[in-house]
Amino acid sequence: MKKQIRKKLHLTPARTLTLGFVILICIGTYLLKLPFAIRPGVPELAWIDALFTATSATCVTGLVVVDTLTTYSTFGQVVIMLLVQIGGLGFMTFATVFALMMRKRISLRERLLLQEAMNANSMEGIVRLIRKVILFSMLIEAAAATIFTVHWAVHIPLGRAAYLAVFHAISLFNNGGFDLFGDFSSFQTFVNDPVFNITSIIIILAGGLGFVVLAELFDYKNMRRLSLHTKVVLATNGILWVVGGIIILMLEYTNPHSLGVLDLPGKIYASFFQSIGARSAGTSTVDIGALRQVTQFMMIILMFIGAAPGSTGGGIKVTTFAILLVSALAMLRGKEDVEMFRYRLTKDLILKALTITFIALSVVISVSMMLAMTEEDSFIAILFETTSAVGTVGYSMGLTPELTLFGKMVLCVTMLIGRLGPMTLAFALGARNIKRGYRHPEGKMMIG
């Protein structure tokens, strides 16, 4: 029966993942719409606001139309936390763990789904990778929650400190962007707090590196080698984070509305926190809307690039950006081959990077134009919010809470596209590959 349904619906791995995320969003919307999911005295939540929150949590974005602390009860906040956890690690990850606990065999189809979900190159060792995903996630989140609990228990009751610590450890590691400090202020209270800043940066970096990279780093003592993928992710991540932090520090150093009022350590913490946050975390320690426009535009670029493949982050991915960059440099130098770390990149890989970038850029342009017709705000604010949704970042210049009904619906779809990835969605919506028995002759034309 299941096989017949799959055949009728043509449920490829890409379509199954898309359907799974849609179902999870629907369940989250229903739970957040329940009366006891809202704080007493708060007006009834509109369906579109519940849908927007559920989509943002499942797609680990962090854009919100209502304040999480003052709107949702403890039940509603826990629902959001669980959606962030499941959405960040992937529902297929939890389904696989449950199947393993029940001692069920993982079928070939399920392995294909896991390969698609984790953005892995092959199915080899995919189940072992899933075990490591859960292990790494639990250990990192537990360590971060312990540090936050001890740090915050000095100022607030232990129970409350533990609850906030668990929520924010999950949100930060999964690049969720949600917080429980109210007034849409994110973590501005902790801008000068070294314990919070250093801990948060480490777990955001860990979540954004990708589980394949974490697994290789974990096994490095035994293997004594790193794959090309891991080398590229580590190098590109490091460069983008450091360069982004330095540029933010230089641009905002004298801005009285952001870094200008902080001492030197505070300026450094804030600069590098925003640099890593813009890559997909969506949590901030300064008012994003108060930054200079040049800084906001640079953050749009960082949000568009995003994190690593197979991570909890979004964007076109750092590997895609690295491939485009070295391809352009190779062309400018007149090289026939594109090389990275003494490896030659195939043309298929370069074409895939170009396709991903083109689709993502097309989504950003299309959504920005649609929102520009309905929303009353500056175009840079619209572009910023759109890129934040596509990159599943969650940074906002204040436009999201003011969105029209149309704007909320458009951003819901945009966040889903960002979480699934442009290629996955293209494969989900497109027809199956058709191999032809012939090829057309090569054609030549002028470009540039």
Tell me what pLDDT residue 31 has. 95
Quote the domain boundaries for residue 288.
13-429
Quote the percentage of the chain above a pLDDT of 90. 47
Structure confidence by residue, pLDDT tens digits, 303-353 = 999 888 877 778 899 999 999 999 999 988 888 888 888 889 888 888 888
**Predicted confidence band at 148 (pLDDT cuts at 50, 70, 90)?**
very high
Residue 396 has pLDDT above 60, yes or no: yes
Site of tokens 């100022």: 155
Residue 395 lies in a domain: yes
| Beta carbons of 211 and 173 less than 8 angstroms apart | no
pLDDT, residue 216, reads 85
How many Cα atoms are found within 13 Å in the side-chain-facing hemisphere of 361? 9
| CA separation for the pair 391, 417 (Å, rounded) | 9
Q: Is residue 75 part of a domain?
A: yes
- The predicted structure's pLDDT at residue 343: 87
Chain segment 414-428, per-residue pLDDT in tens: 999 888 876 565 555
Measured between alpha carbons, how far is 388 from 278 in angstroms, rounded to an integer?
A: 8
Position 80 pLDDT exceeds 60: yes
First to last CA, the chain: 54
> Is residue 59, in this structure, part of any structural domain at all?
yes
How many angstroms from the chain centroid is the CA of residue 431?
27
Residue 2 has pLDDT above 50, yes or no: no
For range 389-407, the mean pLDDT: 90
Q: Domain for residue 202, yes or no?
A: yes
Q: Is residue 440 part of a domain?
A: no
- Residue 444 domain-assigned? no
398: pLDDT strictly greater than 50 = yes
C-alpha 74/C-alpha 76 separation (Å) is 5
Name the nearest CA neighbour of 180 among 80, 82, 87: 80
Reduce the secondary structure of the chain to three states and give it as a string: CHHHHHHHHCCCHHHHHHHHHHHHHHHHHHHHHCHHHECCCCCCCCHHHHHHHHHHHHCCCCCCCCCHHHHECHHHHHHHHHHHHHHHHCHHHHHHHHHHHCCCCCCHHHHHHHHHHHCCCCCCCHHHHHHHHHHHHHHHHHHHHHHHHHHHCCCCCHHHHHHHHHHHHHHHHCCCCCCCCCCCCCCHHHCCCHHHHHHHHHHHHHHHHCHHHHHHHHCHHHHCCCCHHHHHHHHHHHHHHHHHHHHHHHHHCCCCCCCCCCCHHHHHHHHHHHHHHHHHHCCCCCCHHHCCHHHHHHHHHHHHHCCCCCCCCCCCCHHHHHHHHHHHHHHHCCCCCCEECCEECCHHHHHHHHHHHHHHHHHHHHHHHHHHHHCCCCHHHHHHHHHHHHCCCCCCCCCHHHCCHHHHHHHHHHHHHHHHCHHHHHHHHCCCCCCCCCCCCCCCCCCC
Q: pLDDT tens digits for 55-75?
A: 999 988 889 999 999 999 999
Strand partners, 340: 343
Our count of domains for the chain comes to 1
Residue 436 domain flag:
no
> What are the tens digits of pLDDT across the range 367-376?
999 999 999 8
Residue 189 forms part of a structural domain: yes
Instruction: State the pLDDT confidence band at 267, using cuts at 50, 70 and 90.
Output: very high
In this prediction, residue 236 carries a pLDDT of 93
